[in-house]
Structure 1
Amino acid sequence: MSRGGRPVARRTLLLGAAAAATASCDLSISTSGSATTHAHSHRMDGTLTSVHLAPEESAWSLLMPMGKGSRALVIGLHGKGSNGPEMMDMLALDEHVARTELAVATISGGDTYWHKRRSGVDAGAMVMQDFLPLMRSYAKIPESTSLGFLGFSMGGYGSLLLASAMKPATVLGVVAQSAALWTDPGDSAEGAFDDREDFVAHDVFRRAKALSRIPIRLDCGTDDPFIAANRAFARDIVPHAVTNFDAGGHTGDYWRSHAGADLDWLAAQLS
């Protein structure tokens, strides 16, 4: 049974043929996965191994509306301590894809804050170079369609960071839920950056020019430890961003309660 008691049909899905058509020499895709059909959505789950995270496998999930094509793809980036499939379940994203006609894909990127690290790991490159083409292929969404981002905590920061490196016209919009932001490198969480230089190189506050040209929505609870930095980001860096600073903390319940409105907002950017 699915969430809420809805019936679920489950079958085995062979991914090898589709993977062979999309994989580069640096990417290997698992040869099997699963597909789950809900009343109004279709879910695929699998793993990939990327040179950017090797030898670790990354679990991913893709949700698509049933019975119709997807108007755009949204990449979901999880927070520290979470993973791609867990994000899909925690935010109950299957409840919103049919209404919004958006495909949503989540991927596990570890706790590396979605940028290149001294170790050579680069979860951001894995997303953009390996995962994104694969999900576009499965969801049948052409490269010419603009891309959306949805992330919470570490993933909210990562969504802003990855979008800042793209051409603004190619970004549908960014939703950052309780984004893990710091205004000073000395305040950042342990392990978020290799050192002060790494913080500066990947500081989204320093990417104001690019981000001010992209539709951005910021959600953050007023009891969240990141609220001050999110307010500063909205006020000083992206003054025209949509902001929703309301009651709540740094919790899954907060992110889940905002996911529907967030996907509605991303869908509205298509009109």
Structure 2
Amino acid sequence: MPGPIRRLTRRRLLAGGAATVGVAALAAGSASLAGSVETPAPVRLRVPAPSRAPRSTLADTTVEWVGSTARSRAVRLVVSSPPGRDRATLPLCVGLHGLGGNALWWGDPGMRHALGAAWASGVPPFTVAALDGGDNYWHAVRPGDDPMRMLLDELPAWMTQRGLARDTRGVPVLAAGVSMGGAGALMYARERVHRGAPVRAVAAMSPGLFLDPRLAAKRPFAGTADWIANDPLRFYPELASTPTGIWCGDKDAFADPVRRYVALAHPQFSRISPGRHDGTYIGSILPQVVAFLGAHVAPPALPFAQPGPTVLPHL
């Protein structure tokens, strides 16, 4: 049984109420699952929120707990959409969080403002659904914990049960992620290609890519072979027909791997711009990221029509 839906407020989130909501939801409907409240989203990736943001432009965000068989635990389901819009009629984007974070990253006040402001500016609307994926680099590493299967097999059913994304039977048509989630979004897009149902677009923000196996070994991969099998720098040809946008700060530790990805994959849109691996940089690119995704749900309405690949210096 899904837990009760709770509206996410600034006070609840910043005061640590998210954990309280989770405990209450578990007690109400998911207490039998071996759930755990994961570490809050890292402060360094939190998107800054303006001191005064009109409520009318904030994304409408809800949080509830659902029981995931794929992950053998209860996980948060965070859903954000343009205020006042019927979620049932909107296309769906799956949002993936970074290492050490959770789905609440997509419901932070700064993210709600950025999403709402982009939609208010005329970007075609869509709904974002985020789930707790743990620190598994969005694939199966440990027995009984498979976040990718959760996204592929369980998320559509949860959306259908809630009457969301009716036109696609709850299946996301877009994917986006940050840091570990940026790499995970590319992995998710690949799996959708394998299933013969590719997403319309994928956006990777400061994706956690690696050139050095010793660095990759510090992340949750089941050895070198597992990393190679799930390395976007190797499987990029499989996404040749999937519109891809990729962003990274020039002072980000992942900048060189991202440059390499761009040189190899030639994504539809790419941008290396001033910034570090932090929320300030993510906030600066979010308007473009949301616009890129919106272009692929209603292209004629997008101000940034059909962006071409960015030419980057050779390594």
Per the normalisation by structure 2, the TM-score is 0.70
Q: Which has the higher contact order (CA 8 A, sep 6+)?
A: 2
| 1:139 maps to 2:157 | no
Q: Give the counterpart of 1:50 among 38, 57, 68.
A: 68
Q: Does 1:91 align with 2:141?
A: no
Contact 2:189 2:202 survives alignment (8 Å): yes
SS in structure 1 at match of 2:166: coil
CA distance in 2, matches of 1:253, 1:221: 10
Q: Which residue of 2 aligns with 1:156?
A: 182
State yes or no: 1:75 paired with 2:94.
yes
**Matched letter for residue 5 of structure 2:** G
- 8 Å Cα contact 2:189-2:198 kept in structure 1: no
CA distance in 2 between counterparts of 1:133 and 1:229 reads 35
Deviation digits for residues 74-116 of structure 1 (CA, Å, limit 9, x no counterpart): 1110001111112321533343345431111111111111001
Task: Give the structure 2 partner of residue 230 of structure 1.
Answer: 258
**Root-mean-square deviation (CA), in Å?**
2.2
CA-to-aligned-CA distance 1:173-214 (integer Å, 9 cap, x gap): 111000000134323151321211111221222222221111
Q: Which residue of 1 aligns with 2:228?
A: 200
- The letter of the residue matching 1:143 is T
Change (3 A) 1:146 1:76: closer
Which letter maps to 2:244? Answer: I
Aligned partner of 1:116 in structure 2 is 140
1:220 alignment partner, SS class: strand
* Greater strand proportion: 1
Runs of 5+ unmatched residues, structure 1: 1-27
In structure 2, the CA distance between the partners of 1:43 and 1:88, relative to structure 1 (3 Å rule), is: closer
Residue type of the alignment partner of 1:117: V
Count of residue pairs brought into register by the alignment: 241
1:8 is matched with none
Q: Secondary structure at the match of 1:43?
A: strand
* Contact 2:202 2:244 survives alignment (8 Å): yes
Matched with 2:283 is 256
Q: 3-state SS of the aligned residue for 2:56?
A: coil
Secondary structure class of the residue paired with 2:192: coil
- In structure 2, runs of 5+ residues without a counterpart are 10-54, 300-315
Aligned to 1:13: none
Matches within 5 A, 1:174-185: 174-185=202-213
Name the structure 1 match of 2:77: 60
- Deviating above 6 A after TM superposition, structure 1's stretches of 4 or more consecutive aligned residues are none
Identity of aligned residues (%): 26
Alpha-carbon shift at residue 141 of structure 1 (Å): 3.3
**Change over 3 Å in CA distance of 1:213–1:119 after alignment to 2:** same
Q: Contact 1:97–1:104 at 8 Å: present in 2 too?
A: no
Aligned to 1:107: 131
Q: 2:296 is matched with which residue?
A: 269
Task: Look up the equivalent residue of 1:39 and give its one-letter code.
Answer: S
Kept after mapping to 1: 8 A contact 2:79/2:127: yes
Partner Cα distance (2:117, 2:103) in 1: 17
Question: 1:164 deviation in Å?
Answer: 0.7
In the superposition, the TM-score normalised over structure 1's length comes to: 0.81
In the alignment, is the contact (CA less than 8 A) between 2:156 and 2:172 conserved in 1?
no
Task: Tell me the amino acid that sits aligned with residue 206 of structure 1.
Answer: R
